[in-house]
Chain A
Amino acid sequence: MCKIINKYSKTGNLKYISHLDVLRFIQRSVNRAGIRAKYSEGFNPHMKTSFGFPLSLGIESIGEYFEIELNENLPPEEFKRKMNSVMPKEMQIIKSSCSDNTNSIMARCAYAEYIIGIESENLDMDRLNNLLSEMLETGVVYIRQKKNKKKKLVNKEINTKEYIRYLKADKSGDNKAKIEAVFITSETGSMKVDELLKLINDRAFNLDYHTIMKVDALDKDMEPIL
């Protein structure tokens, strides 16, 4: 009985569902599909699953990951088929495979790839791409406010170039652009797409609307996890 690793999507209205809620929803989907999962021991047994980095609210994704241990011999393909028949169209398993990697999904993730759609009046593409390469090459420094353990606000300086691997914008219509971005993710910290958008906004691009799609999570060799 192998551990099964799955790549799944989270699109449409499900972009408003938090990480914890997704976790519970997938475990319930396992129950609905009649699949026998392994459980932990103890007073409050819970299903043995593990997930990748939490996705921020408001971001759609076609590159989310989870692993699960089963109590029955079920080929990954069959697991995928059974799960997809009880999951909504906004959340479907794209790929399943046996996993013998002992590292956690989070430990395997080195990069996250995004496609960001923006809309703005009088969008100047050259000016936008100049800003993006400045972020990538020389770096733009901004302040991140966080609450520390004593619930006090502390300021932390962040330099974009330490967290961005790739960043480029293409025109996609009238006053519309698509930005492709690869961020460095690590367990010690990463940059959020929202922070990137705020930096663009602060440089006098008034964004009217945006969409964010996470395309995949990549390992240290820039290959998709699955």
Chain B
Amino acid sequence: MIDVKKLDRELLSVEKPARYVGSELNSVVKDKEKTSVRFAFAFPDVYEVGMSHTGLHILYHMLNSIENVWCERVFAPWTDMEEVMRKNSIPLYGLESKDELKEFDFIGFTLQYEMSYTNILNMLDLGGIPLKSKDRTDNMPIVIAGGPCAYNPEPLHEIVDLFTVGEAEELLPELLGIYEKEKLNGFNKLKFLEKASQLEGIYVPQFYEEVYNEDNTIKERKVLNNNAKDIITKRIIKDMDKVYYPDKSILPYIDVVHDRVVLELFRGCTRGCRFCQAGMVYRPVREKKSDTLVNQAESMLNSTGHDEISLTSLSSGDYSCLPDLTLKLLDKYENDNVSISLPSLRLDSMTFDIIQRLQEVRKSGLTFAPEAGTQRMRDVINKNLTEEQILGPVETAFKLGWSTVKLYFMIGLPGETMEDVLGIKELSYKIKDKFFARPKEEIKGNLKINSSASCFVPKPFTPFQWTAQNSIEEFYDKAKMLQREIKDKKVSFSYHEPKLSYLEAVFARGDRRLSKVLISAWEKGCRFDGWYDMFDFDKWMEAFNETNVDPDFFAKRQREITEVLPWDFIDVGVSKKYLISEYEKSLEAMTTHDCRLGCTNCGVNHRLIGGACPHVQNNK
């Protein structure tokens, strides 16, 4: 255990000391003498962000439901706490036991966004653990990583011992089982990694080598170990009603980003937006039954006392039993002051009656994500949303008394013209006009439209994985033009920092050569890069210079369809052929329909589930 008295002496000097002490309701403390595997679930960002992540709550309680496993949490200490820890030689520790990281068998990082990678290095270093896999001996913790960014694991290949690709609820217990067996007869890390790499969905980077062409593109990947697979296939959970879901979640004392009961309605999405990585890699759609969800809501509410339930999914409105579920929940909880929120909802008339009832408990704002300002651009990205489908629901919402609207757009989408950019202003203004185009006596409230533009980042496993990102200058030109053009008091416009999106794009499609850049940036003091006030672009550019890596090569280069991509060895179920055909259709601004209405042959059913996807309506 770390020196707790020393910690106690210093904690009052840092902001929000409750981030660092644990003891929350529903957190799990076990007798370490009675456990054989100690797992640190590591979230490479601050406590409030990490504790808002549903995956953490699922895997934490899932692992702790195994008798001999004790899973604890560890977050990235904020800079003030890092300073205190380094000055007083307090190593990074698990929140529950206060044991330092070195004492754990596994440190499992979840990779939610590329800009958290420097925090991974920093957390290992604060734990006194060598950064590189090859420098860690047999008696040191195994460093593993999973989550959405593990679909392109290569920038972290030197750091992480093994990656879990896909959904981990079934994979992790298998992996820990292998580990325990290996521990019985004198643990040897290499032998364990060889055994682990035979599991479906496990990728051990040290068993492979990347070979490059003269022009810096990838020539081939070599397999260096006989146990390693050529292709790593992602893991999926087949039956969401049977898979582990916790009946309680840890209740943070301090205010976190999402402070509510989260119900996951289904995994996957059928819409097929071409910019969206989640929509491709989480296929196929797998729903939970509404009764399963009602039961899960009940035990979660009883164990936490939350007063809000959030029904989340990539696109909650597509849940086939949504009316049934929301009405059941409303009838049950309406009188207990429990409100129900539906984020990521696509609005149509069916859902409006429900939304109205939801508002009776607590009023909330409205958020729309048209993503692009013109129909042509929306067709290119396959948003499958017409202007009428945006303005109609907005009008209804105004009628029902809403007056605050958030609009999400992207700039820098493939093939975007200045006219498309201006479309963002046009659409925002059309929405404003809808508000005032009513008889005076019907207009209630104070209209506020908040339009925001994020900079498009091409991601692996999307039809846009080959496209060039806009340059930082182009992003600024577009954003600044909108800022000049939008001059209405009722409409406010904000945009995301282009430099951040540029770096995100470099790492999103990066290969093994980025590993040394990452280490160099961390050495220069980069931390919390996703936090705008912490982000130091110049340090990053120095790191690229010193390591002789050209970031433009990864962000701004248009790839050939035939090029070997750094993530080609991972199979997410959706075929490359499908991604290519979607990409080609985008060039013609041709749309592809929602695959609920009929299979669009993405390939996920042949390769992962066998037989047709359950959500397709015409497969009777």
Contacts and interface: CB of A to CB of B under 8 A. Distances in A.
B306 interface: yes
Given A14-B253, A21-B253, A31 B23 contact: no
B306 A16 contact: no
Given A13-B23, A44-B362, A88-B23, A21 B18 contact: yes
Interface stretch (B9-17, B37-45, B201-209, B552-560): B9-17
Nearest to B23: A13
B22 to A, nearest CB: 7
Contact of B17 (A16, A31, A47, A88): A16
Nearest to B21: A13
Interface in A115-147: none
A29 B26 CA distance: 13
A209 B11 CA distance: 12
Interface in A146-200: none
Given A28-B306, A31-B307, A32-B302, A43 B362 contact: yes
A39 B12 contact: no
B490 interface: no
Contacts of B25: 88
Nearest to B5: A209
A57 B17 contact: yes
Interface centre among A18, A29, A34, by most B CB within 10 Å? A18
Nearest to A25: B253
A24 B305 CA distance: 10
Contacts of B306: 28, 31
A30 B254 contact: no
B304 A21 contact: no
A54 interface: no
A57 B17 CA distance: 9
A31 B305 contact: yes
A224 interface: no
Given A17-B254, A21-B255, A39-B337, A29 B305 contact: yes
Contacts of B363: 43-44
Interface in A2-43: 12-14, 16-18, 20-21, 24-25, 27-34, 39, 43
A16 B337 contact: no
Given A31-B306, A209-B9, A14 B362 contact: no
Contacts of B336: 31
B254 A18 contact: yes
A173 B302 CA distance: 46
Contacts of A24: 255
B560 to A, nearest CB: 55
B337 A45 contact: yes
B251 interface: yes
Interface centre among A17, A43, A90, by most B CB within 10 Å? A17
B545 interface: no
B251 A28 contact: yes
Given A21-B254, A88-B23, A88-B25, A16 B305 contact: no
Contact of A90 (B9, B18, B23): B23
Interface string B321-347: 000000000000000110000000000
A58 interface: yes
A19 to B, nearest CB: 12
B483 interface: no
Nearest to B25: A88
A75 to B, nearest CB: 21
Interface in A32-74: 32-34, 39, 43-45, 47, 57-58
A17 B9 contact: no
B303 interface: yes
A18 B18 CA distance: 9
A92 to B, nearest CB: 13
Given A88-B23, A88-B25, A32 B303 contact: yes
Contacts of A32: 302-305
A34 B305 CA distance: 9
A13 B25 CA distance: 12
Given A18-B254, A21-B255, A45-B337, A12 B23 contact: yes
A39 B335 CA distance: 11
Given A44-B362, A88-B25, A209-B9, A17 B305 contact: no
B12 A58 contact: yes
Interface string B354-374: 000000001100000000000
Contacts of B302: 32, 34
Contacts of B22: 13
Given A43-B362, A209-B9, A17 B18 contact: yes
B28 to A, nearest CB: 13
Contacts of A88: 23, 25
A17 B22 CA distance: 11
Contacts of B410: none
B301 interface: yes
A12 B23 CA distance: 9
Contacts of B255: 20-21, 24
Nearest to A20: B255
A31 B260 CA distance: 13
B362 A16 contact: no
Interface centre among A13, A21, A34, A209, by most B CB within 10 Å? A13
Contacts of B18: 13, 16-18, 21
Contacts of A16: 11, 17-18, 21
Interface of B: 5, 9, 11-12, 17-18, 21-23, 25, 251, 253-255, 301-307, 336-337, 362-363
Of all A-B residue pairs in the complex, the 6 with the closest CB atoms, nearest first, are: A28-B305, A31-B305, A32-B305, A13-B23, A13-B21, A16-B17
24 contacts: A12-B23, A13-B21, A13-B23, A14-B23, A14-B253, A16-B18, A16-B21, A20-B255, A21-B18, A24-B255, A28-B304, A28-B306, A28-B307, A29-B305, A31-B305, A31-B307, A39-B337, A43-B362, A44-B362, A45-B362, A57-B12, A88-B25, A90-B23, A209-B5
Given A12-B23, A25-B253, A44-B363, 9 more contacts: A17-B254, A21-B254, A27-B305, A28-B251, A33-B305, A58-B11, A58-B12, A86-B305, A88-B25
